[in-house]
Amino acid sequence: MKYILTDLDDTILQFSDAFQDWLENKGYHNKGRIRDGYKLETALGLSSEESDDLIIQFSEDTEHMPYLKAEPDAAIVLPILQNMGYKFVAISACVNSEVTISARHTNLADAFPSIIWHDIHCVGLHQTKNNHLKMYDSTWWVEDNPKHALRGAEIGHQSFLLDRAYNSHLDIKDNPYRVKNWHDIFDHIVRSDSK
C-alpha cells in the first residue's frame, strides 16, 4: 500500500487565515498576517501560554474549526494522487480534545469529499509527531513546519517542506525537499514512480 502522510494546518487546510479572522472578530488586531510568518506572541504581545489558550479556544470552536478551507492546490492534487493508488494519513500537532478531533474529521470530509482518510492522528498541541511517523514504512511526508519535516526525514521518509514565509530562510536541500505547492509534490512523486 502506498501512503502519503501529511500535516493539516497550512499544509492542506487554511488554518492561519481562519484563525486570524477569528481573532480579529474577537477584537485582537495583529501587526501582520500570521501566515506570513508573524508569531502570535509577537503580533499580539502575548505570552506563549496566552497564545496557546487562544489556539485551544479556536480549535474547540465548533462554529469555525470544522469549516477550514482547503488549500487550493491540495484540493486539486490530492484526488489525483488517490486515483493513482495513494492512501492518505493525516498527522497534526493540534489540540487532541474530542471536540477538536471530531471537528478535524468533519472538516476533512467537507474540504476533501472524495478523499478516504486511512487515519487521522491529532497528537496534541506542540507535541512531536515521531511515534506516528514511525508507524509507517518509508514513504512521502508533507509538512510546512521544518522541525517536523526534518524529523520525518530522519525517521526514513522522503519529506517535502512546503515553502512558507516562516520557513523560507532555512537552507533545505534534498530531504526535506523544498516545494512551492502540491503541484510540485505531484511532479516529484510521478517522476519517482516512473523510475
Bridge-based pairing of strands 158-162 and 177-179 is: parallel
Residue 192 carries which DSSP code?
H
- Exposure letters 133-172 (e unless 16+ CB within 10 A, then b): beebeebbbbbbbbebbbbbbebebbbbbbebebbeeeeb
* Res 192: pLDDT: 86
Q: DSSP E strands: which ranges in 111-187?
A: 117-122, 140-143, 158-162, 177-179
Q: What pLDDT was estimated at residue 174?
A: 74
pLDDT at 195: 66
Amino acid at 90: A
Q: How far apart (Å, rounded) are the C-alpha atoms in residues 87 and 47?
A: 39
pLDDT of residue 193: 79
DSSP 29: -
d(CA 97, CA 173): 36
Distance CA 77, CA 108 (A): 15
Q: What is the pLDDT at residue 26? A: 93
Domain ranges of the chain: 2-14+70-193, 15-66
User: In angstroms, rounded to a whole number, what is the distance separating the alpha carbons of residues 1 and 145?
Assistant: 26
Provide the grid cell at 101.
478531533
Cell of 163: 515553502
Cβ-contact 149, 41 below 8 angstroms: no
pLDDT for the residue 32: 75
Question: Helical H runs in 4-116?
Answer: 15-25, 40-44, 48-59, 72-83, 98-111
* Per-residue pLDDT, 194: 74
- 28 to 36, 121, 142, 143: CA distances (angstroms): 17, 30, 31, 28
Q: Which three cell numbers stand for residue 141?
A: 511526508
**What pLDDT, on the 0 to 100 scale, is given for residue 64?**
96
Sites in the chain below the pLDDT cut of 70: 1, 38, 195
Q: Which CATH architecture best describes the domain 2-14+70-193?
A: 3-Layer(aba) Sandwich (3.40)
Predicted local distance difference test score (pLDDT) of residue 38: 63
Q: What is the pLDDT of residue 29?
A: 81
Task: Give 131's DSSP letter.
Answer: H
The residue whose grid cell reads 492534487 is 77
